[in-house]
Structure 1
Amino acid sequence: MADHSDKQMVPVIPSRIKYFPENRLSAINDGRLFLEIQVFQELIYALIDTGATKSYMGLRTLVVLTRNNIVPIHQEPDMVQLAEGSIIQTQGVYQIPVYLDNRPTEIYCQYIPTLSNDLILGLDFLQRHQIIIDTAQRKLLFPDQVIKLSVLEKPGLAGIRGLDEEQLQRLNNFIEEELQQFETSPGKTHAVEHKITLKPDAEPQKQRYYPRNPAMQKIINEEVDQMLKDGIIEPSSSPWSSPIVLVKKSSGKYRFCVDYRKVNQVTVPDGYPLPFIEGILSRLKEAHYISTLDLKAGYWQVPLNKASKPITAFTVPGRGLFQFKVLPF
């Protein structure tokens, strides 16, 4: 990485930080060298990169620091050029005190959300401490001391390899056998029950239904019949009512939805942060097998608590009022 800034940082060491003095240098299968550092109660793998002018950290290291109330010493963003030529923006500078073979020191890192490595130690760290790397012997050479670091046994980075003919046949046979046991209607989790939280001054929202032509109304009636059969909805006498919306899918079919915009205006939003995709992918970098499961109508697999059901009510012309028993789209 090449840095595009000449800014000087004034370090401030937080007095509450404690790092544990266990450091080991390891070679990953592709020949790169990593330094294993225990940060609080987490092991962080720091890539030794002489091609990086500064040191950088990824999402996992940020999570560890944030969990322990460590804030950036500098918020101003910086521009960094990656090895393949693209330029990205950093998000703050952090100071990480560490021990290297019982030697207290600190690392100044810029945070890059999309960085796949937990930590990259660049030339700034190596030059500041006048460290020489002996890659053959896996040693860090300080001016007044030679530190020999033990080798960490660590799996190589994940690769992609296709199935052979026998494995592919076994997989196909397994899928065909298991598909016969799959239910056509969505399941239901017993691990959680969703609650819709209303604002203190919230009043029931009642809207008129959207007029539909006979063809669209036929689709609505068919969807309602199926949802009643599957236990997704039930008849209601709620003071709430929201209009039905049919959303056309890429397949040409329609998805049954309800326009809850008015309801959303009187509910308390949930600020729980969704995880970064980059962070999830970074945690999978050592996996041998990665699978995905697509839940059928995933929202409908989460039940609603009793008080929330009336809030989801919707009108079906000529048939009355219904409410969801599960989380609606």
Structure 2
Amino acid sequence: EALDGRPLGEGRITTITKELRMQIGMLHSESFKFYVIHSPSHPLVLGLLWLRRHDPYISWREGEIKQWSQNCYEHCLSHEPIVPVHTVSCTEEQPKIPGLPAEYYDLSEAFSKVKALQLPPHRANDCAIELIPGSTPPRGRIFPLSQLESEAMKKYIEEELAKGFIRPSTSPAAAGFFFVKKKNGSLRPCIDYRGLNDITIKF
């Protein structure tokens, strides 16, 4: 079977990394690309082609590379003098974010307003919202708003248009928009997607 547990010959490799620089030991360094597979037991596999190219002397009993080939001495091994490195123990200070409890500092990116403005990158399997064939998108309903809520809605629409999160539309399909008051008295915008969820294909 293959490294990911599947029978040999099943599945295809569809993802490859950008060129990465790998260093083995103090001096052996090279750059190449890796194929990406699901292999929790073997995070990195160099393979037979790599062994043929570098032809290292390996002690399989000790699990160590004892000596590199002449080709490596000419092309892969650095000839710069070795500089001794001394390690010290240190603790990285977590950034303090106003209003964020200390136990959540390691999740600070999840609370970042800058990160919230960025869409996730496209991946090999992007998700799509697919509707049930023959269904009609709902027209929604209009919720009455107070003067304070109307002003908050106007501000919300202006901000979301500026971010590029929404855009003007003439479609008859719509979802209801209203506000829920938070504990601190501010207003949380809510969009009623229940009608759309009812005709969305569930996976």
**Shared topology, TM-score over 0.5?**
no
Decide which structure has greater strand share.
1
Structure 2 length-normalised TM: 0.42
Structure 1 length-normalised TM: 0.27
Q: Which has the higher contact order (CA 8 A, sep 6+)?
A: 1
